[in-house]
Structure 1
Amino acid sequence: MRGGKRCPARAPWHEIFWSLLGSFIGILAVYLIGHQQDLRLEDSLFLVGSFGASAVLLYGIPTSPYAQPRNLVGGHVISALIGVGCATVFSDYPAIGAAVAVSLSLALMHLTRTVHPPGGATAMIAVIGGDTIHALGYWYVLTPIALGATLMLLVAILINNLSPHRRYPQYWF
């Protein structure tokens, strides 16, 4: 409980710049796809909260194993599938459904080597996301989740490889 290590040094300015640029463009791109469907910002299903956490990984620490393409897309898709299933099975018990969804998602991400921490939120959003999310059913897996994650991946490939100090992805499979 004492720790024993010191806080790491601050990231260099060039890393902060590329992180800021990538996350801005990635989240804005996801919003613009939803905007094309004439959705108000607060109704935009493409701005799923878990994408904010994905942006931190993809653009802030792109060398992390959790930020790699198989983890990003696989983790979100697996978690969305489980989340929708749990929303259906536990529709009368959302707290239990959310707990089961997050737990099963984590276990399956481990089994498939696709752990992406924001996937837990993706699963939970499918359960507690409200009527608009529930009305999507398994379409939630394709749009916003798979489409949004893929769009963020494309931005990550572009932005992270524009920097002379970054290489992304580290691996695909």
Structure 2
Amino acid sequence: MKTFFKKMRGGEKSPPRKPFSKIAWSWLGAFMGIYLVSILSRLTHFNLLNSMFLVGSFGASAVLIYGVPQADLSQPRNLVGGHVISAFIGVTIYRYLSLDVAVLGALAVSLSIVAMHFARMLHPPGGATALIAVTGSAQVHSTGYLFVLSPIATGAFILLTVALFVNNLSGNPKRHYPRYWI
């Protein structure tokens, strides 16, 4: 039992803050990516807060693909695949199982993690996407499997396009995107 609690103490120090240039590039990418998704939302809906394109899990994706573009979890296959797999699972769970929403949410997230691992497309915001498919509004539920294509796949592709553009603008040879596609 002592060993169990000893693991929770950690043992390393926090890494130093990233240089201002990396922070600035992260800001630019996140701003542009979320702004473009928001503009698409505005063009398709009158009320931005009720818009289907502005999905909360995209904010977490922006942190990964613009803040740590070299991370495995940030690569294009993970970004797009993780969101699409998770949305599909979330919609399926909600549509075909008649259980309490707490159980449905837990199943959607946990099964999405398993599927993303097997597909080698682990993207943590995908868990949020699966949860949104289960706990979302009546508008989300009424779209059924179209939720997977729009807003999820469409929004992920917009974020990816901006990541390809912004992450390769820097003159720093270490800041490029992606590391791999397949």
Provide the TM-score with structure 1 as the length reference.
0.97
Residue equivalent to 1:168: 177
Match of 2:55 among 48, 51, 58: 48
Name structure 1 gaps, 5 residues minimum.
Answer: none
Superposed displacement of residue 130, structure 1: 1.6
Q: Is the 1:89–1:97 contact (alpha carbons within 8 Å) kept by the matching residues of 2?
A: no
Percent identity between the two aligned chains: 54
Q: CA RMSD in A?
A: 0.9
1:127 aligns with 2:138: no
CA pair 49-91 structure 1, distance change in 2 beyond 3 A: farther
Which structure has the larger Rg over C-alpha atoms?
2
Q: 1:31 aligns with which of 38, 50, 69?
A: 38
1:92 Cα deviation from its structure 2 partner: 4.9
Q: Deviations over 1:89-119 (max 9, x none)?
A: 2355211111110011000000000000000
1:3-152 → structure 2 map (5 Å cutoff): 3-152=10-159
Please state whether the residue corresponding to 1:162 is helix, strand or coil: coil
Q: Which 4+ runs in 1 deviate beyond 6 A?
A: none
SS, match of residue 7 in structure 1: coil
Kindly indicate whether the alpha-carbon contact (under 8 Å) linking 1:84 and 1:123 is maintained by their aligned counterparts in 2: yes
Taking structure 2 as the reference length, the TM-score comes to 0.93
Any stretches of 5+ residues in structure 2 without a counterpart? 1-7
Q: 1:90·1:96 contact (CA, 8 Å) conserved in 2? A: no
Secondary structure at the aligned position of 2:168 is classed as helix
